[in-house]
Amino acid sequence: MKVILDTNVLISGTILLAGPSYRILEAWRQGRFLLVTSEALIAEAQEKLFDPRIRASYHLSRGVIQRMLAALRKHARLVPGRLDLKVIAEDPDDDQVIIAAVEGSVDYIVSGDRHLRDLGAYQGIKILSPAEFARLLEAEPQP
């Protein structure tokens, strides 16, 4: 299965060592799904993870952040993020998630963002919260 993780899921899974976002990242590391992303989404995650307030609040080292970003670039399927779509009028930045999802022909978008989750689905791509997707993974037999 192919999945887009919104940057809020990537960030939560990196800074919190428990909870649905962390379990989702662990499942990806175990090869249980193909992560699809774009440079625009990686850049957004990088900007937020390197924010001094976030680093100080969660005691994040540069090394932890750099390893996460390197893993994304090495092990995720990168799509160009060039489609011109305007789906989320309230927060156009969220369109980057939709664009990467469409370009990558993913099965699921996983996001904690209300604007995305309120859509429910887009062009047959289901949009789930981290808790919903973690439950879906837990219900599947592990390889």
CA dist 99 and 105 (Å) reads 10
At 48-84, the pLDDT tens digits run 999 999 999 999 999 999 999 999 999 999 999 786 7
Where is pLDDT greater, at 143 or 100? 100
Residue type, 87: V
Q: What are 138's two structure tokens?
A: 């837990």
Q: How many CA atoms lie within 13 A of 18 on its CB side?
A: 0
CA dist 74 and 86 (Å) reads 29
Domains of the chain (ranges; CATH) run 2-138 (3.40.50.1010)
Pick from 101, 104, 99: nearest CA to 127: 101
Is residue 29 very low, low, confident or very high in pLDDT (cuts 50, 70, 90)? very high
The CA distances from residue 107 to 35, 69, 113, 124, in Å, are 11, 23, 18, 8
Mean pLDDT in residue range 96-107: 94
Pick from 118, 120, 123, 87: nearest CA to 105: 123
Residue 91 has pLDDT above 80, yes or no: no
What b/e readout covers 2-27, taking b as 16+ CB neighbours within 10 angstroms?
ebbbbbbbbbbbbbeeeebbbbbbeb
Residue 89 has pLDDT above 90, yes or no: no
